[in-house]
Amino acid sequence: MRLPEVDAVIIGAGAAGPIVAKELAFAGWRTVLLERGEWNTAADCRKDDLRNQRTSILGHPFGPEDEGNPRVVVERDGRLRVVEPSAGGYHNNAACVGGGTLSYGAMAWRFHPHDFRMRTEYGTKVPAAFADSTLEDWPIGYDDLEPYYEQAEWEIGVSGDDSTNPFRGERKRALPMPPLPPTREHEILWRGALRAGLHPFHIPMLRNSVPYGGRPGCMRCRWCVGFACEVDAKCGTQNTVLPRALGTGNLTLRTGCQAQEVTMGPGGTATGVRYFDANGERQEQPARVVVVSASAIESARLLLNSKSNLFPRGLGNRHDWVGRNLQGHTYTGAYGLFADDVYDDLGPGASVAICDYNHGNAGMAGGAMLANEFIRLPIQAAGIRPPGVPRWGKGHKDYFRTNYRRLVAVQGPTQEAPTFGMRVEVDAEVKDKFGIPVARLSGLKHPHTIEVGNLMAEKAEGWLRASGAETTWKKGAGQGISGGQHQAGTCRMGRDAKTSVVDENLRIHETENVYVVDGSVHVTNGGFNPVLTIMALAFRAGRHIAGAHRVRG
């Protein structure tokens, strides 16, 4: 049924949607926020090592459900495979209020200033990275985002200390919370980094180290990334900006609602959103402004499923850019075994990082931040072993019981060279439980990305050796596309409507009132976890939208 018109409808209550909702609600806009999942809380923290957002062997608690939400994956040999959300290849993030921010590891990175201008930095120096890639500068730079990075750090809450990182962009204000006290592993790696001439610092984290925002500090348990925080010390959108936005009385949150299409008027003006509500009934929500914040894969799917006279191939897709350039990160790194126990059972685990290799690697375009890994529960570590150690039998058991507490992992998210071929389409045949065509994923990594990733693995191994690891081995780069929790790039931001999907204010080219606000708009995804950049862009877009469109009196 057709509902009363509102000022704005936002699709997706993940990392970005609730931030835009908060900015608009505070500006007096009557706003509706649609979320296909449920509102989970700390009470839903089950600490189940086989069923969580990171290790989904037996499923995952924060969505989407395995039943009725398939995707299609195109294999390297061209075969099509239908996958369910908890299976590999689906590239799931989450489907719940807060999205990935409910259960993430919560690293809170600002991108490096160079990350916004990859062509300027590397176009002539590293031509290999540009052959058959869409590597490009962003239309905005670090300085444009700096105030919004700060806003995200303070409104949502970040702990850490990057004052000893000489490679960071200018920061006007320190982080609101100090880092957690160091673990044994942190101290070992810190000293090793200094010995190797590197520059270690405390990772910024969207996690309370002390009471902040009305919630307690981290209790340092083993169950962090992939789980909801039992004491609600992780800072997501669901426990920060969203309650504040609801407090204005201007925002309505509707859960269990799956968007079907953005409805368009005769020209470039959207009229609202058609969706299925929690009872499976079709609804139409008219709105003066439509904001798509469903994450890179689902936002692209929604736009491609929104066909109109002006956009017969999908909203914003007149030049075939929607769904292109899908990128997450190429994770590579190394493992090290130490002579003595390094495990002291203090979460969250990841704490020390270096940015020495994000840029300036000879012959390489970009690189990665390197950091120690989150605590590995036994099932997560059971497959990690040096070459030559058996996978089963007495050899496995002896190795694992001796070395579980001596293992350190260092890894990093290598920045990828996006390509046209790494992409999201909608499948012609497979549909979800509502009959909406589902996302189809295909493509292979750019060869340069694999080179950079493998170099980062060498650097990680070097750091472990300098820290005293006796046995080390590398984890190199895979060939397949990345996406998952870091998915980005599918609705590129740019000035030219022919080579991008949204403008620098994140409005879809040739539309009056449709915005995409999530990782989709990233031109490149930095050598860092992307969430703080998504949040900063959302604060910036929210402020812009509130100023650019007049609300009815």
Partner 1 sequence: MKRRSFIAGTAAVGGAGCGRGEGPAPGYRVLTENEIRTLDAWCEALIPADDAPGASWAKVPRYIDIQLTRKFRRLLPRYREALAAMERWLAAAGVEGMAARLELMEQGKAPRELFADGGKDAFEMVLAHTLQGFYGSPRHGGNRDYVSWVLLGVAPVPVRGREQAETGKN
List residues binding partner 1 (CB under 8 A): 45-50, 57-59, 70, 79-84, 87, 221-222, 230, 341, 343, 345, 377-379, 382-383, 391-394, 396-397, 400-401, 404-405, 428-429
Nearer to partner 1, 401 or 550 (CB): 401
Least distance CB 338 / partner 1 (angstroms): 14
Minimum distance from residue 51 beta carbon to partner 1 (Å): 8
Q: Which is nearer to partner 1, 46 or 495 (CB)?
A: 46
User: Would you say 57 or 210 has its CB closer to partner 1?
Assistant: 57
Within 13 A of 305's CA, how many CA atoms are on the CB side? 27
322: three-class secondary structure by DSSP: coil
Residue reference for tokens 């009872």 = 279
Backbone angles phi, psi at 162, to 5 degrees: -105, 25
> In sequence order, what DSSP letters do the residues of 357-417 get, joined into one string?
TSS--TT-S----EEEPPPPPHHHHTT---TTS-SSHHHHHHHHHHHGGGEEEEEEEEPP-
Cis peptide before 64 (omega within 30 of 0): yes
Instruction: Rank residues 180 and 488 by Cβ distance to partner 1 and give the closer one.
Output: 180
Min dist CB 433 to partner 1, Å, is 14
Q: Which is nearer to partner 1, 156 or 424 (CB)?
A: 424
* SS3 at position 446: coil
Nearer to partner 1, 202 or 385 (CB): 385
Residue 309 burial class via C-beta count within 10 angstroms: exposed 0-12, middle 13-18, buried 19 and up? exposed
How far apart are CB 49 and partner 1 at their closest, in Å?
A: 5
Of 280 and 378, which CB lies nearer to partner 1 in the complex structure? Answer: 378
166 CB neighbour count, 10 Å cutoff: 10
- The minimum distance between CB 340 and partner 1, in angstroms, equals 12
Tell the smallest beta-carbon distance from residue 397 to partner 1 (Å). 6
Q: Give dist(CA 158, CA 230) in Å, integer.
A: 18
* Contact status, residue 160 vs residue 445, Cβ threshold 8 Å: no
Strands (E) located in 451-533: 471-475, 514-516
| Residue 535 contacts residue 156 (beta carbons within 8 Å) | yes
Measured in degrees and rounded to the nearest 5, phi and psi for residue 373 equal -90, 160
Cα 387 to Cα 131, 335, 376, 414, 459: the distances in Å are 35, 11, 19, 24, 19
Instruction: Kindly tell me which of 57 and 131 has the beta carbon lying closer to partner 1.
Output: 57
Shortest spacing between CB 416 and partner 1, in angstroms: 27
Longest dimension (CA), the chain: 75
161 burial type by CB count under 10 A (0-12 exposed, 13-18 middle, 19+ buried): middle
* Closest CB to partner 1 among residues 42, 436: 42
Cα–Cα dist 240/245, whole Å: 9
**Least Å from the CB of residue 496 to partner 1:** 32
The nearest distance, CB 398 to partner 1, in angstroms, is 8
Q: Which residues of 8-22 are buried (b: 16+ CB within 10 A; e: fewer)?
A: bbbbbbbbbbbbbbb
CB nearer to partner 1: give 81 or 125.
Answer: 81
Phi, psi (5° rounding) for residue 449?
Answer: -60, -40
Nearest partner of 261 among 395, 401, 410, 426, judged by Cα: 426
Which residue, 1 or 43, is less far from partner 1 as judged by CB?
A: 43
Beta-bridged to residue 159, according to DSSP, are: 177, 205
Closer Cβ to partner 1, 382 or 548, answer by number: 382
**Minimal distance, residue 428 CB to partner 1, in Å:** 8
CB of 228 to partner 1, least distance (A): 12
Q: How far is the CB of 339 from partner 1 (least distance, A)?
A: 16
Q: How far apart are CA 452 and CA 375, in angstroms?
A: 26
